Structure 1
Amino acid sequence: MLELRNITKRYDGKLILDDINIKIENGEIVSMLGPSGSGKTTLLNIILGITTMDSGSIIFNDIDISKVSMKDRGFNIVFQDYALFPNLNAYKNIVYGLRNKPNLVSKEELCGLIDFLELKPHLYKRIHELSGGQKQRVALARTLAIKPKILLLDEPLSALDGVIKETIKEKIKAITREYKLTTIIVTHDAEEALTMADKVLIIDKGKVSQYGSPKEIVHEPKNNFVEEFILRQLKIKKDNIYNLFGDNYV
């Protein structure tokens, strides 16, 4: 469904992305994982269309969209800080993107989305009255209301913790199943990447270190960087990694 071919990007002569090649199937969740400065956010912005690449191509449903504007790609993003309008209540934030597209979603679809994300009791609250998890769900609802072809998430759990974090994690996974929505997540957290995604893209210094299922990443690391990065992130002994996600995972 989405293919990145030979993506290269430089800033001020410095190589940020070096010949990135991956394929993402319809409905998959893919996590981009790597240390700060590895290039993962730049790659997300190139997919979205707000950053240009120096060379390479982006193929979506067999069509080259490399030169297509962000607006016309039909992808959408939920930013790390939610980017909600503080002067509007939750409901007005959710429907904000529908101002010029009133027929894009039916009333029944919108109500179903609000119910799915359990936002009905919070619709008329101002943003400052919402918890972090509620803000994240409002941001997700606003993005899903305009029916994106691909959902992009930039560090969606970084401001959350505990039960709220786990709840949003499950909601994101449920969204992809319910709406058959291809989802790309940027995260710096290895456990998030491994427990949320169908595939994990590990980037180091602008290069693909490994791209595969969480099981492949854990059991068959392609190089020392992948193995050491995962071990360091999870902060547990190697022998215990294989049982981290339970019997269903291994």
Structure 2
Amino acid sequence: MLNLKNVIKSYDNKKVLNDLSLSIEKGEIVSVLGSSGSGKTTLLNCLLGIVDLDGGEIILDNKDITNEPIEKRGFNIVFQDYALFPHLSAYRNIVYGWRNNPSVCTQEEVDSLIDLLELREHLDKDIDQLSGGQKQRVALARTLTLKPKVLLLDEPLSALDGVIRESIKETIKTISREFQLTTIIVTHDPEEALTMSDKVLILNKGKIAQFDTPENIIKHPQDEFVKTFILNQLYIKKDNIMKLFGDTHA
């Protein structure tokens, strides 16, 4: 569904993305994981079309979109800070993009999204009256009314904690399954990546260190970097991960 072929991006003669090639199936949830400077944000910007590639191709549904403008790519993003309009109500935020392009979605579909995301009782509230989880749901609803082919999420849980964090995790998984929506999540949190995703892309200095299922990454890290990066960071949360994937002998 989405193919990256030999993608290269450099800044100041330094390769930030170095010959990336991978395939993502329709409806898959893929997390992009890596330390600061690994190329996560650059990859996100390249997918969106905010920056141009220096080499390689981006193929979506067998169509080369490498040089397509942002508005024609079929991608949409929910930013880390939600990027909601503070002077508009929750409902007016949700329908903001749809009102400019009403043919893409029916009123019934908008209402269905509102109910799916449990926002009905919050529609008349100002944005500053909403909790972090409610803001995240409003941002998701606004994006989904435009029916993207690929949903991009930039650190979707970073501002959340506790029960709200787990609730949004489940919401994202439900949306992906319900709409067969290919979802790419950029995160710095290994636990988040491993517990939300069908596959995890681990970047190291602009190269693919491993692209695999969470279970394989936990049980069969491809090299010492993956083992150290993932398992060391997960050690304090080890009990949670072991419940999902069993004993890794880490």
Q: TM-score, normalised by structure 2?
A: 0.95
Deviation string for 1:83-135 (max 9, x for gaps)? 00000010000001012212221111110000000000000101100000000
Per the alignment, in what secondary structure is the counterpart of residue 151 of structure 1? strand
Structure 2: distance between partners of 1:244 and 1:44? 31
Percentage of matched positions with identical amino acids: 62
Runs of 4+ in 1 over 6 A off after TM superposition: none
**Gapped regions of structure 1 (runs ≥ 5):** none
- In structure 2, the residue matched to 1:140 is 140
- In structure 1, the residue matched to 2:85 is 85
Matches within 5 A, 1:189-208: 189-208=189-208
Q: Report the Cα offset of residue 51 of structure 1.
A: 1.4
* Matched letter for residue 32 of structure 2: M
The alpha-carbon distance between structure 1 residues 241 and 221, as it changes in their structure 2 partners (threshold 3 A), is farther
Q: Report the Cα offset of residue 53 of structure 1.
A: 1.0
Q: Report the Cα offset of residue 71 of structure 1.
A: 0.4
Residue pair 1:219, 1:242 contacting (<8 A) in 2 also: no
41-50 or 135-144, which moves further after superposition? Answer: 41-50
The alpha-carbon distance between structure 1 residues 17 and 246, as it changes in their structure 2 partners (threshold 3 A), is closer
Matches within 5 A, 1:51-90: 51-90=51-90
Q: Report the Cα offset of residue 44 of structure 1.
A: 1.1
Structure 1: distance between partners of 2:221 and 2:14? 28
Count of aligned residue pairs for this structure pair: 246
Residue pair 2:218, 2:231 contacting (<8 A) in 1 also: no
Per the alignment, in what secondary structure is the counterpart of residue 235 of structure 1? helix
26-35 or 94-103, which moves further after superposition? Answer: 94-103
Structure 1: distance between partners of 2:127 and 2:245? 37
Structure 2: distance between partners of 1:244 and 1:192? 14
The reply on whether 1:172 has 2:172 as its aligned counterpart is: yes
Q: Report the Cα offset of residue 235 of structure 1.
A: 2.2
Structure 2: distance between partners of 1:159 and 1:235? 22
Residue pair 1:117, 1:137 contacting (<8 A) in 2 also: yes
Residue pair 1:7, 1:21 contacting (<8 A) in 2 also: yes
Residue pair 1:30, 1:199 contacting (<8 A) in 2 also: yes
The reply on whether 1:233 has 2:233 as its aligned counterpart is: yes
Q: Report the Cα offset of residue 140 of structure 1.
A: 0.2
Per the alignment, in what secondary structure is the counterpart of residue 151 of structure 2? strand
Residue pair 1:199, 1:213 contacting (<8 A) in 2 also: yes
RMSD (Å), alpha carbons? 1.4
- In structure 1, the residue matched to 2:244 is 245
Q: Report the Cα offset of residue 230 of structure 1.
A: 0.7
Structure 1: distance between partners of 2:241 and 2:78? 32
Structure 2: distance between partners of 1:84 and 1:39? 26
Structure 2: distance between partners of 1:91 and 1:23? 36
Structure 1: distance between partners of 2:237 and 2:117? 37
Q: TM-score, normalised by structure 1?
A: 0.95
Deviation string for 1:8-64 (max 9, x for gaps)? 111121211100011000000000000011101110111111111100000111111
Matches within 5 A, 1:15-30: 15-30=15-30
Matches within 5 A, 1:8-19: 8-19=8-19
Deviation string for 1:196-247 (max 9, x for gaps)? 0000000011010000000110111010000000112112498x68724166
The reply on whether 1:122 has 2:122 as its aligned counterpart is: yes
- In structure 1, the residue matched to 2:5 is 5
Per the alignment, in what secondary structure is the counterpart of residue 105 of structure 2? coil
The alpha-carbon distance between structure 1 residues 205 and 44, as it changes in their structure 2 partners (threshold 3 A), is same
